[in-house]
Amino acid sequence: MDLWIRTQDRTTLIRSYEIYIAEQCNMYVIRAKRTSHILGVYNTFERALKILDEIQNMLHSTVIKQTANALYFESKKIVVYEMPNE
The predicted-structure confidence for 4-61, as pLDDT tens digits, reads as follows 888 999 899 888 778 999 999 999 999 988 787 899 999 999 999 999 988 887 776 5
Report pLDDT for 27.
Answer: 97
User: Which run of H or of E encompasses 3?
Assistant: strand 2-6
Report pLDDT for 60.
Answer: 65
pLDDT tens for each residue of 58-82 = 776 566 677 776 666 665 566 667 7
pTM above 0.85, yes or no: no
Residue 14 Cα to chain centre, angstroms = 10
Q: Say how far apart CA 16 and CA 5 lie, in whole Å.
A: 7
Residue ranges per structural domain of the chain: 2-82
